Amino acid sequence: MNSNSSASNVSSDVRFVSVEKKFGAATALHSLDLDIERGTLFALLGPSGCGKTTTLRLIAGFEQPTKGHVYIRGKDVTGVPPYRRSFGMVFQNFALFPHLSVAENVAFGLQMRGVGKDEIGKKVAAVLDLVALGKFAERYPRQLSGGQQQRVALARAVVFEPDVLLLDEPLSALDKMLREQMQVEIRQLQRRLGMTTVFVTHDQEEALTMSDRVAVMNHGRIQQAGAPKEIYDRPRTEFVATFLGASNILQGQVRGRDGDDAVVDLAGNLVPVPGIAAADGLVRFALRPEKITLNPESNVRASVKDVIYRGAQTFLYLDMNGMALNAVLQNAGAEPVAVDAGASVGLSWDKASMIALEEPA
């Protein structure tokens, strides 16, 4: 995903080459190299201030890089103003015109581009049918639900068939149930259109649900980029492991080797850990809570500090000889997992679930 190759990669709709962005003395992006392939639904994920919105604004042309170049469809658009770039955008607050009908809102961008009246009518009708709003064409935004307003904003952004669709925290104004519904609807719409889409979010679940590719950002740098499953299952750094999902970050002392595995002393328990070349020294690794299972035959023991029942899952808060860790157990049977606080339990996990961590870039 990160690349230093030339800007002629025809499979990339968006490319950043050594892009740096400063605001005064503050650096928002540090020498960013990034390829976003054609037809991809690409998420920029990270906390506030990580650089994800700046990256989106550089694609749109609302900001210009301090150094480096931005390419869209192989064309260097560095310095090109927004009105000369082919992108559609959906904002957090939808930004619909309250005095215009649904059809008039969707038609607005086409009118500004000088499209003929008959063609506007055809395009607006087609895109409103695409987002299941054909019968609402004459209504005004105030007469629509939040989800319907979101669909209008999407229709307005895609009606002129832009090269890139940009979504800036598009679902943050919606309640949880509607947000989850719209995640699926946007994903399905993007697949039907095959349109390269870049969206900014701080919501890890949203990124996992919607995207083909994710870039996890922090302090103006991409910590890791790839398919959601790849990043979730194989995080490289502590930040990625804890920001995209929950992880136990554990530290142990390497005591020797067992074939390709390091033998690590983990709070008095000797466990094999793959992916560690060292024969001694301290190591850190991530272990997802849902990878831990209860095993009464295991020699790895922990005491249960707290138990929280959450319907489909039971969360255990554990102490293993002074080392805290969490486990998430699935309530798949007729009865939920029966474990009481204060109990001593045996723990097991597949050694492949223990992911050795690198230092962040």
Sketch the domain layout of the chain as residue ranges: 12-242, 246-356
Residue 10: the pLDDT is 55
CATH fold label, 246-356:
OB fold (Dihydrolipoamide Acetyltransferase, E2P) (2.40.50)
Q: Which parts of the chain sit beneath pLDDT 70?
A: 1-10, 334, 336, 360-361
Kindly report the CATH class assigned to 12-242.
alpha beta
pTM, full prediction:
0.88
Question: pLDDT tens digits for 6-30?
Answer: 444 557 899 999 999 999 999 999 9
Question: pLDDT tens digits for 246-304?
Answer: 999 999 999 988 888 889 999 999 999 888 887 788 999 999 999 999 999 999 999 99
Residue 23: the pLDDT is 96
Residue 333: the pLDDT is 72
Residue 6: the pLDDT is 44
- Helix (H), strand (E), coil (C) string for the chain: CCCCCCCCCCCEEEEEEEEEEEECCEEEEEEEEEEEECCCEEEEECCCCCCHHHHHHHHHCCCCCCEEEEEECCEECCCCCHHHCCEEEECCCCCCCCCCCHHHHHHHHHHHCCCCHHHHHHHHHHHHHHCCCHHHCCCCHHHCCHHHHHHHHHHHHHCCCCCEEEEECCCCCCCHHHHHHHHHHHHHHHHHHCCEEEEEECCHHHHHHHCCEEEEEECCEEEEEECHHHHHHCCCEHHHHHHCCCCEEEEEEEEEEECCEEEEEECCEEEEECCCCCCCEEEEEEECHHHCEECCCCCCEEEEEEEEEECCEEEEEEEECCEEEEEEEECCCCCCCCCCCCCEEEEECCHHHCEECECCC
